[in-house]
Structure 1
Amino acid sequence: MSDARVGLRVVHRRYVPYGHAHYAGGLVDGAYALGLFGDVATEVCIRTDGDEGLFASYSQVRFVAPVRAGDVVEVVATVTRVGNRSRTVEFECRVVCRGRPEAGVSAAVVLDPPLVAVTATGTVVVPGPAPGGAAGAVVTPL
C-alpha cells in the first residue's frame, strides 16, 4: 500500500540579501542553505501531518556550487519515504537568478537552467496520533 504523502513537493524562493555575505566575492556560508532546508521542511510537515515537526538529521549534504549575495534561490523539498513518525526528504537549493555586478551595480540575470548549489537528504519527525484522534488533520482557516 503506497502512502499519498510520498512525492509531495514543496518549493520556496528567496532573495539572498547582501547582509548575508560572509566571505570574499559575496559568498554566503553553507549554513544559509541548511536554514532554508529547515524552513521548507517545516512546511512539508505541516502539509503531511498538520504539525511543524522537528528536523532529526541529515544523512548527506553536498555543497556543489556557490551561493552569493544577490542570488535568488529556489529550495525544493520532496518527501521520499514515510515511516510511522519519520519522513525522509530530499532537498535541493538552486540558484535561479544571479547578480552581475561587473555589468552594473544592480544588474542580474536569470539562470536557465538553474545552478544546483546544495543537495541534501534529511529526516524529520512528527508527533504520533493524539489519543482518541488522528494526527495530521487538515484545518480549514476561518
Structure 2
Amino acid sequence: MATQTGKDAGTRVVHRRYVPYSHAHYAGNLVDGAYSLGLFGDVATEMCILTDGDEGLFASYSDVQFKEPVRAGDVLEIVCELVKVGTRSRVLELSVSIVARGNPNQEQPGAAEMLDPPLVATTATGTVVVPG
C-alpha cells in the first residue's frame, strides 16, 4: 500500500509477502537471491504506477547486498522509497526485511514467530525509467 502520492522524493510503497515452501530452492528451505529481486520488481512497478501512471521498466540495480538468508515460511516486508526524480528516470532505495519466520517443531509443525526487530535480508538501489 502506498503511503503518499506524487513524484516527490520520499514517496514509499510497502508490500508484504509470505514465502511458500514451494519456493525453497536449497537445503534448509532457503530461497535463491533472485526471489528478492523479483519482489523489488513488484514494488518498483507499483511505485511507477503511483508516480507516473505507467508500469515503467527497470534500467539497473546497483549495490545489491544479500545480508540474511530468506527461507520458506518467512513473512517479508518489501519497501521501495523514491529518492531521486529525473526527467524519465527514478532512483529507488529497496529493502526486503524478514518480519516473521516459521519455527516448526515436532509438537507444533506450524509454529512461527514475529521477529522484533525484523531482519534486513536484502538491500539495493534501483533505477527505473518511465515514458517521457
TM-score range, shorter chain: over 0.9
Tell me which of 24, 27, 32 is aligned to 1:29: 32
Which consecutive aligned stretches of 4+ in structure 1 deviate over 3 angstroms post-superposition? none
Gaps in structure 2 of 5+ consecutive residues: 1-5
Structure of higher CA gyration radius: 1
Gaps in structure 1 of 5+ consecutive residues: 129-142
1:120 maps to a residue whose letter is A
1:104 Cα deviation (Å)? 2.5
TM-score by length of 2: 0.93
| Distance in 1 between residues matched to 2:22 and 2:112, nearest whole Å | 18
| Distance in 2 between residues matched to 1:73 and 1:92, nearest whole Å | 10
- Write out aligned runs for 1:104-123 (5 A): 104-123=108-127
1:92 maps to a residue whose letter is S
- Equivalent in the alignment of 1:132: none
| Distance in 1 between residues matched to 2:120 and 2:108, nearest whole Å | 25
TM-score by length of 1: 0.86
Tell me which of 3, 12, 17 is aligned to 1:14: 17
1:51 maps to a residue whose letter is D
Q: How many matched pairs?
A: 126
- Equivalent in the alignment of 1:87: 90
C-alpha RMSD over aligned residues:
1.2
| Percent of pairs with identical residues | 69
1:94 maps to a residue whose letter is S
